[in-house]
Amino acid sequence: MSALTPATPDFAEITRLIEAARQRAYQAVNTALIDLYWQVGAYLSGKIKAAEWGEGVVEQLAQHLASTQPGLKGFTRANLFRMRQFYEAYQAQEKVAPLVRQLPWTHNLIILSRSKRPEEREFYLNMAAQEKWSKRELERQFDTALFERVVLNPAKVSPLVTQIHPDAASVFKDSYLVEFLDLPAAHLESELQRGLLAQLRQFLLELGRDFCFVGSEYPLQVGQQDFALDLLFFHRGLNCLVAIELKTTRFSPEHLGQLNFYLEALDRDHKKPHENPAIGLLLCASKDDEVVEYALSRSLSPALVAQYQTQLPDKKLLQAKLHEFYLANLGEEGAA
């Protein structure tokens, strides 16, 4: 009789500890670097404002550092001026100081250079820290005019969503960009669904970090009939299932009836005891916001209506609309 093969030891916990330590070390180094850049920026700002140094001295400083510390990187003339700009942009904003230290310098530079107003900088600092965006993903969010879209078109939710999930409005969007699918102008619902599944990682990034994929064509049995939900996710922050129904047509109020039915089935037969009631997201090709508002106002289910866009929006047009919005709502100072 052959001897029993010993079980392979479980090293997962050690691996997890190593990765956690690496992440802490990286964050500590990054925080120290951002602190250094902040202090250098503050020093340069003070000297130049007090007219003790002219801007030409910054060039001399860059040359001095290059010659005396040849291994030192990141202290070119251009980067020294960015440190000064970085400090001056945030010195009076106590709320954002912890956020800038959570992000790499490249992320801070992207946000600093591409934002048009202080509240836009704060928005992207918050989102980048929360969603752990890569440099590429952060740039994509600017390309998709996320800030403008969120301000101009907040998520459309039913009253019950706000009642059950007070934070839901900040989790969902009014429109989702799926330009990465390369869909033709005329496409079928099945093509949209297959595309989202094929590019699931990209779609999860667009939805948000706390969304977890559960399944597609998710089976729901009610009575003697079988139904299939297009896409099912779980949101960790809201602690609930999120049902997504896809429509490649314009939103119609009767679409909500089907979604509400699926939410009832999820809550009765699939929701865990510790979970909150499920939320439904109807993702349509287009919608009339007034029709959506009427349809959702009497809805007895926690539902949302959003649209998907297969092409990047016209950012200049959105920026012009945002400027008008600030003029109308915040006055000249807020629109500057």
For 21-84, the DSSP string reads HHHHHHHHHHHHHHHHHHHHHHHHHHHHHTTSS-THHHHHHHHHHHHH-TT--S-SHHHHHHHH
Tokens of 309: 């866009």
Note the pTM of the prediction, 2 decimals: 0.85
Whether the Cβ atoms of residue 315 and residue 143 lie closer than 8 Å to each other: yes
Residues contacting residue 154 through CB under 8 Å, at least 6 positions apart? 169, 174
Q: What value does the mean pLDDT take over residues 4-16? A: 72
C-alpha 94: how far from chain center: 23
pLDDT of 141 strictly over 50: yes
Mean pLDDT of 63-92: 92
Look up tokens 């120290």; give the residue: 32
pLDDT reading at 332 higher than 60: no
The fraction of the chain above a pLDDT of 90, given in percent, is 76
Q: How far apart are CA 245 and CA 284, in angstroms?
A: 8
Give which of 296, 270, 266, 288 is closest to 279, Cα–Cα: 266
Whether residue 240 is predicted with pLDDT greater than 80 in this model: the reply is yes
Confidence of residue 179 (pLDDT cuts 50, 70, 90): very high
Q: Taking 50 as the threshold, does the pLDDT of residue 1 lie above it? A: no
13 band by pLDDT with thresholds 50, 70 and 90: confident
